[in-house]
Structure 1
């Protein structure tokens, strides 16, 4: 990985001076997130998320596999991340950086370990055949807060995805092509959303949805994954300055507001896409 240049003293002082006045370099308030854009691809399970100038593309695919020995009645949910030098020149295409590993772990905790997806519903024949759902995340542009953007991309793509329908008669399994039978959506229990914070000035100052420049100046960070039911699905804090309990409580209250807004936007985008596809299908007939 290419060594990342540290921000200049002037950059650091300028950012901190602005934050002390409750302002940010890009004009946002300290608790404001950047604009979110959701664009779906032609196929189910393809989505591109843009958070400010940070962009992540997600693609979901499915194939039939044998289940794991310790979970014979559960399907498999697998995440794969890829950060290329296209997104940011500090990334090396030859190996996984620490940041990429950390992002993968947070996404894994947020979506798989929180049981957001009903993996038992992916079982075809117990102990023999299950669906393996793979989520590929490609980081296209890095202007800070890759975690939140990737988390939104992953859960939106999973919500949008449709797998082929299956008929099981005795030991015979028939997978129906999408053009012959309507594909089936995944069973999703809840929509976990990541909300990341960056801390400055020994934790006295904080911002939501940090930019690339803010991430280079920060003294610590934390990501809270929550759903609209006020359930904290995961909490990640990898080093940095320690936080007081009241600071953690304040962050969780801010996160709930952002989670509610983002969830509504995702659901609205899914409904709009569904209506557009239905209209296109009716027009084709």
Structure 2
């Protein structure tokens, strides 16, 4: 299996010494994210996230299927990840790397198991028909921070997605197309966001949103998943560096501020996209163009 090109000893020592001197390669403070960009596709449920040089695209799709026998009143929601070889030399189609396995597990716990999506609202006819939602995550460019960027992309895509409207009569259901009826937004109970902290110097130094070079030098990582209300959905630790309980509490406080900012940012982008899709607003813009 191809491996990520390892950082040289000189580069490793340079980064470590810079961190001891409280300096990051790109000049950011230790608790600051890189520039975050979010755009939505022409169809509902497509979110393109750029975090620094890292780029991830999430797409939500829906189909009508039978629910699981033991979950007759629930719909189905699943997440799959795809690492493109053009994103990194270590990614190979059909052969999941360790990074892909960890990412899948983190997103599964952060979004699906935390109950972020109200799956009961996806039920059409109990025991017979329901909506099956699938989130496809594509990594286009990898420069660190994959977990954070991927979580933002999936949450934003879920908020942007609209499912078809349904009319139920007895045991028959009619699924309306977009032209027949306005599609319906999903029922999302809360919006979990992941914030990754990288550990250095036996846990004495912690960075938010490390880039790829900083990730290759770190001794471990802590992933905090929470929503803007301060509810912790997940705490995951990878690597050998030990972390004091008080440090974890400090990470949670820092993560809360980041999650509030990111949630507000996503909401503002959703409102911008809604205005663009508004027919009245579009007509007014075209009229202004004609007048000029």
Shorter-chain TM-score tier: over 0.9
Q: 1:164 aligned to 2:177?
A: no
Quote how far apart the aligned CAs of 1:81 are. Answer: 0.3
Q: Give the aligned partner of residue 93 of structure 1.
A: 93
Residue-by-residue CA offset, 1:194-253 (whole Å, 9 max, x unaligned): 000100111111100010001100000011001011000111112321111111011111
Give the structure 2 partner of residue 140 of structure 1: 140
Alpha-carbon distance, 1:98 to partner: 1.4
Return the alpha-carbon distance in structure 2 between the equivalents of residues 59 and 231 of structure 1: 26
| Partner-residue secondary structure (3-state), 2:132 | strand
Distance across 2 between alignment mates of 1:244 and 1:184: 45
Q: Which residue of 2 aligns with 1:66?
A: 66
Map of 1:51 onto structure 2 = 51
Query: CA 1:239–1:13 in structure 2 vs 1: closer, same or farther (change >3 Å)?
Result: closer
RMSD: 1.2
Question: What's the TM-score once normalised by structure 2's chain length?
Answer: 0.95
Counterpart mapping for 1:33-44 below 5 A: 33-44=33-44
1:226 aligned residue = 226
C-alpha distance in 2, partners of 1:23/1:74?
A: 50
SS in structure 2 at match of 1:42? coil
Shift of 1:279: 3.9
Measure, in 2, the Cα distance between the counterparts of 1:52 and 1:4: 19
Partners of 1:203 and 1:125 in 2: CA distance = 52
* Separation in structure 2 between the aligned mates of residue 48 and residue 213 of structure 1, nearest angstrom: 23
Q: How many residues align?
A: 284
Whole-Å Cα distance in 1 between the matches of residues 31 and 248 of structure 2? 15
TM-score by length of 1: 0.97
Matches within 5 A, 1:107-256: 107-256=107-256
Cα displacement string for residues 93-126 of structure 1 (whole angstroms, at most 9, x for unaligned residues)? 2311111011011001010111000000000000
Structure 2's unaligned 5+ residue stretches are 287-292
Unaligned runs of 5+ in 1: none
For structure 1, which segment, 61-70 or 2-11, has the greater mean C-alpha deviation from structure 2 after superposition?
2-11
Secondary structure of the 1:11 match is helix
